[in-house]
Structures are given as C-alpha cells and as structure tokens.
Chains A and B, each alone.
Chain A
Amino acid sequence: MSAHEVQPTVDHLLEVKHLTTRFYTEDGVVHAVSDVSYILNEGDTLGVVGESGCGKSVHALSIMRLIPIPPGKIEAGEVIFRGRDLLKLSDDEMRHVRGAQIAMIFQDPMTSLNPVLTVGFQITEALQLHQGMNNKEAKERAAELLALVGIPEAHQRLDDYPHQFSGGMRQRAMIAMALSCNPMILIADEPTTSLDVTIQAQIIDLVKRLRDSLGMAVIWITHDLGVVAGLAQRVNVMYAGSIVESGPVKEIYVNPHHPYTVGLLGSLPRPDEAHGTQLFSVRGEPPDLVGVLKGCPFAPRCDYVTEHCHHEMPPLEAVEPRHRVACWERERVRRPQ
C-alpha cells in the first residue's frame, strides 16, 4: 500500500493528504512542507521528529490553518477531520474547530501566554467562547483544569499573571487551556524543549495520563527521539519538508530503513556504549529549502547515494505493512550494529 492509495476514510480521526505548504519570500520560494500524507486514529499518539527547518512545525500550523498568508500558502492537499476538509472550511467554521476540537500547545509557554492578562482570564476566555459558559461556570471549570494539570491552590492561582508562574507551570497552564474544551486531538509543538529534564518528565507524565483518561489523540512534535520512544506508538520522520520514514515506533527504532533515520539514531549516545565509542554522525548540513529541490533532498549527505537519487524523489513506499520509507536504496539500508 503506498501513501497515495490510503484506505477509505471511514474511521480515521484525521487524514492528511498531500499537504504542501510554501512561503513566498524575497529570497525565493521556500518549500516548507511537500506532499505530506498520513492518518491519525482515535486515541493514537503520533510522534513527528526532525531537525530545525524540516517542516514539522509548519505542517502542524497548516493543519490548524495558522500559517500567515501571505507570505505562506497552503498550495495543495486535504486535511480531513471527521469527514470534513479543514482547508475548505470558512474562517468562521475553522474557529469552531480550532481550540475546541483540535487544540495546540507551543514550545515557548512565555510567549504564547499574554503577559498582561491573568492566567484565569486566558483559560475562561476559551470556555466562554466555545462552550457558552457564563463567567462563574467558566471560573469553576478553569480551577478544575488547573488542578487537573497539577497546579496547587488552583483557585488562588487563577488571578496570577503568567510571570508569576515558573516555566513548568506555564506549560501546565497552556495544557489546561488546550484541554479546556475537551479536544479530540492535541497537537504539541516541542512543548518540553525549553524545560529542564525533571520538569519535562513531569509534563510528559501528565500528557500520558490525560491522554489515557480522556481518550485524546496526540500529535507530538519534537527533535528528541528519546521522548518519542517513551510516548508515541507511531512516528513520522521528516527531512526537508517531506516524510522520509513512517511507521510504528518499535519497528522504526529497531529496524530503520532510511539513511537519515539511521543517522539520527546513531548520533545519540547509547546508555550501554563503551567508553571511547565514536558517535555516528551525519555529515554535512540540512539543505536550504529555497528553490525547487531535484531528487532526494538527503542525497548530498547520504552514504547510500546512487545516480538515481539525484534525479528523482523517491516515493514513500512500504517495506513492512505499516512501515513506509522514501528511499530508493531502502533494501540496502541497515542500522550499523
């Protein structure tokens, strides 16, 4: 089964088909997301990994229709959410989806909270807007939500301003806001990158518990393969705007078939390695996405490269039933032991 003949869309919660987003800048056209297709089912947790500039955030913003237009433009594709194409909705209809049915949390909790409004006001705003609650009900619910995400003395903290919260607490408040309307999908864009590891462990633990108790689907965007290993069932590896490998986490971490995934996994120190082991590094730098890319974008950094790679972009094709890889040489690619 290839990406292009996805099964009929009966039960899928979210289906992204051929999503392509570009930015028209003074320096040229930036091909931020190219032909991204995947499926998300109810209760699934999908990890999206890749390095800076690989399009993982832009793809999420495209789903939420939060791309600034211009300079951005969603060129092609469909985002089918419960049978409706989000890209075809009017702005007004989209506002009822965004925040209410699909919620998003961002990397930097300081810049995504308004510093001059109290945390309580920012949470109740969404409740009043989407759920038509009155002020008192909304406050009650907001306190409940803050307690749910583990903020002590939630009632008093509603009147605090964001600067009175620590980094971890701000991210908890963001999660409380995102959960306020019982969304079916939570998109988390590097929510723990700016936090310390012990706080990161708290947040991941919280999201796991909430996911299991509320039955949300989660799309977790990160550059940290360790976080994905502990949280997600499936993973999409992105490089230069495309998905290069996609499948179950357990399958991909053991048996990666794209040279980039192999490189990423190899560049992390392993807990059981001997002292003095050299890390396996991917040479070179990620490509500039301005202008049309010809062939496989990973070709200049790839150890398996052939003539074919420079001319034609490999399609995302299955190596195992649910494991898809975009590489001409996928049969040869192995993780070094």
Chain B
Amino acid sequence: MTAQRRDEVLLQVQNLKKYFPIRRGVFQRHVGDVKAVDGVSFDVYRGETLGLVGESGCGKTTTGRTIIRLYEPTEGHVYFEDVDLAKVHGNQLRQMRRKMQMIFQDPYASLSPRMNVLGIVGEPLEVHRVASGKQRKDRVAELLELVGLDTGFMNRYPHEFSGGQRQRIGLARSLALNPDLIICDEPISALDVSIQAQVVNLMEDLQEKLGLTYIFIAHDLSMVRHISDRVAVMYLGKIVELTDRTTLYSNPLHPYTQALLSAVPVPDPFVEEKRQRIILEGDLPSPANPPLGCHFNTRCPVVIDVCFEVEPEFIKIEEGHFCACHLVQPFERPEGRVRLRLEEQTVQKT
C-alpha cells in the first residue's frame, strides 16, 4: 500500500459548498442560508485514511454526504478518478456510486429492522445487478466472514444483534460492491470503548487486505489520530488545518487545533496532572450567521484586529501542512508575523 500512497490522488475536493436554505412565511421566501460547508478543498490519496474532525455542527458530516452526492452540492467540484461527481447524473452517477460507499454513525438507525442480514448486505448487489440468487448468497457469506460474523447469521434481523455486530453488518454492506472509497461517518462513536477497539482493528485489517481508502469522520481526536494518515480539522464549515497525523499532534498551528487537542483528556493521570489546558470560551456560533472575517474570531484566545475584517486564506505553510490563520505564515517567510504557540502564552499569563 505504502508505495501507492501519496502518488495517486483518488478524490479531489475543490471549493465544495453546501448551503441549506432557510425559508420563512406563507410564500416560503428564501431569507438566508445555513452555510454547513463553506468552501472546503482537499485531496485524498489512494490507500490512505483521511480523518475529518471537528465539533458538532462544523459540517464534517455534510461534507461526507455532499461528496457522495447524498446532498446536492451548492458549488464546487469533487473529482473522483477524473469524473466530476458534482456534475454527473442518472446512470453515470449510479456507476460512480458503486465505487464509493458510506457507513453511518448509528448502527440502530442505519439498518432496516424489517430486512434480514441477507437482504441488507445483499441489497447493493441486487440494486446494481451484480449478483442474484445463489451467487448473491455466496457473496454475502463471504462478506460476513470478512467482517468476522458467523455466516449462520444471514437469516437473522438487526434487533438480534449488539451495536458492535450491527456496525460489522454495515461494514459488510459497504464492502459488497468492492468500493475504492468508504466514507465512515462517526462509525464508532455509538459503541462502547472495548467494542470500539474491535471495530477499528477490523477496519484497519480490511484496509490492508482490500486496499481501501477511508475518509474517517469523527469527533474523537485520539481515535482519529490512531487510524488516520492525514487529518483535516474543520470549524464552522471550513477546514482550518490539514496535515499528517504526526505533525498535527506534535506541531499544531491553528489556535483552534491547539485548543481542541488540549481539550482531549488523556488516559494517564500523570500526564493530566501536569497539563496546561487551553479552555475556549463560549459556544460555536450559528452557521446561519457566521462572524465576519475569521469564523473562529469569537472564541480565539489570540485574536487580532485583522481577524474581524478579513477571512484568512487556507494556505500551504510547509510541505503537506495547510492552515487558515492570519497569525500563521509560511515557514520560508520568517519576516512574516510571529507564529504563536498557545500553550506558552497561557503559561505565561497564569
């Protein structure tokens, strides 16, 4: 896998936007937009796992759903193997959908309670006319085995399974058509800790075996760090920082990334004892009415005047490290503004 990684771009997202209109009154007048995704751009390489993190309402789920065309994009392009997914229709879209699948957060809501496992896992095969009858049954058995479930479960219904087993069924369904890309929308956040580890290990095994590419959407930073090769941090509809997993955690540049990382509890009492937390004040502003300038300016601990007027560009800081902050300038321009390390600042203050 590693050889392919980094060279071949599987998916290219360019300035993707998704606005949900707000309508009021008898005539359903269009009075505004919820800017759920407001211009995000990133590449996904074949065979890698891209983590997409952020708090609730930051647009990470909408991004995933818009890529796969569960939502119609308002603007922007999504190139998948040179086809612009944002433009294709009808049969061509159906053909493209075979190559990308999605697994969902809630394993209780994402499986039909009236279908048995054979029906659920075999449905994509039928919809896309890949296999039917005996062939379909064999393929389902193969898939169940792949995700570590007993093939005897085929005639059972979702209510007979635990959360972890259901998530395995969802995974089997998403693998049915041999996709290249799987968008995983918080696949483990509804599961217990010990079961989370089982599912994550399974996902990693499958990636190894089948050469899958994942977009892993989650709010749990420690798990995202574990599974991802690169991580994109979202805030209020925009990506504020994107880099590889090691750099993001060792050298986060955006103040929001730094605050987010510092807010994650570490399961080690000795580390926790010494930690200096950056506590962000206030809540996420409404995406229907985002602040002018930088979206983070209402909560940013190092905000300066320009942040209230000009929106920072999402620029390359060093090779493979992108960030959108007025205070963070490319490394080759040391005469630019001072880069800030929030932790040091906070320590000095207290």
B4 at the A interface (CB under 8 A): no
Q: Is the CB of A285 within 8 A of B193?
A: no
Query: Are B245's CB and A275's CB within 8 A?
Result: yes
Contact with B along A273-308 (1 / 0, CB 8 A): 101011111110110000000000000000000000
Does B272 sit at the interface, judged by CB under 8 A? Answer: yes
Give complex CA distance A266, B196 in Å: 12
CB pair A197–B267 under 8 Å, yes or no, is no
Query: Which residues B282-332 have CB closer than 8 A to chain A?
Result: 283-284
Closest to A205 in B: B279
A263 on the B face (CB < 8 A): yes
Q: Which residues of A contact B221 (CB under 8 A)?
A: 197
A287 to chain B, nearest CB (A): 11
B192 and A283 form a contact (CB under 8 A): no
A198:B55 contact, CB within 8 angstroms: yes
Q: Is A131 interfacial (CB-CB < 8 Å)?
A: no
A197 touches B219 (CB 8 A): yes
**Of A21-29, A70-78, A225-233, A328-336, which binds chain B?**
A225-233
Q: Name the distance in Å between B164's Cβ and chain A's nearest Cβ.
A: 7
Q: Which residues of A contact B265 (CB under 8 A)?
A: 200, 204, 224, 226-227, 229-230
Question: Shortest beta-carbon distance, B186 to chain A, in Å?
Answer: 13
Stretch at the interface among B35-43, B83-91, B198-206: B198-206
Known: A51-B192, A269-B222, A269-B223. A253 touches B198 (CB 8 A): no
A312 CA to B193 CA, complexed, in Å: 27
Contacting pair A198 B259 (CB below 8 A): yes
**A202 sits at the interface (CB 8 A):** yes
How many residues of chain B have a CB within 8 Å of chain A?
45
Contact across chains for A278 and B204 when beta carbons are under 8 A apart: yes
Residues of B close to A249: CB separation below 8 A: 269
- Cα(A47)–Cα(B135), bound, Å: 53
Is A97 an interface residue when CB atoms closer than 8 A count as contact?
Answer: no
CB within 8 Å for A197 and B192 given contacts A269-B226, A282-B197: no
Complex CA gap A202/B280 in Å reads: 7
Give min CB distance, B343 to chain A, whole Å.
Answer: 14
Determine the chain B residues whose CB is within 8 A of the CB of A279 once the complex forms.
197, 200-201, 226
* Cβ contacts B242-264/A at 8 Å (1 or 0 each): 00011001000000000110111
A271 to B249, Cβ gap below 8 A? Answer: yes
Instruction: Let me know if A198 and B260 touch, CB within 8 A.
Output: yes
Query: Would you call the interface of chain B mostly helix, strand, loop, or mixed?
Result: helix
Whether A196 contacts B56 by the Cβ 8 Å rule is yes
Q: Which chain A residues border B283 with CB–CB below 8 Å?
A: 166, 168-169, 199
A164 CB-CB contact with B under 8 Å: no
Q: Which residues on A sit within 8 Å (CB–CB) of B340?
A: none
Tell whether, in the assembled complex, residue B260 and residue A197 are in contact, meaning their CB atoms are under 8 Å apart. yes
**Binary contact readout B176-211 vs A (1 if CB under 8 angstroms, 0 otherwise):** 000000000000000011111110110010000000
With contacts A198-B259, A205-B279, A269-B226 known, is A226 near B197, CB below 8 A?
Answer: no
B268 CB within 8 Å of chain A: yes
A250 within 8 A of B: yes
Give A224 Cβ to nearest chain B Cβ, in Å. 6
Q: Is there contact, CB below 8 Å, between B225 and A226?
A: no
CB neighbours (8 Å) of B259 from chain A are 198
Q: Could you list 5 A-B pairs, sorted by A, with CB under 8 Å?
A: A267-B196, A269-B222, A271-B222, A275-B245, A282-B198
A residues near B, CB below 8 A? Answer: 51-52, 166, 168-169, 196-202, 204-205, 223-227, 229-230, 249-250, 253-254, 263-271, 273, 275, 277-283, 285-286
Residues of B within 8 A of A (CB): 55-56, 162, 164-165, 192-198, 200-201, 204, 219, 221-223, 225-226, 229, 245-246, 249, 259-260, 262-272, 275, 277, 279-281, 283-284
Further 6 A-B residue pairs, CB within 8 A, beyond A201-B277, A264-B193, A271-B225: A197-B263, A199-B55, A225-B267, A229-B272, A250-B270, A285-B165
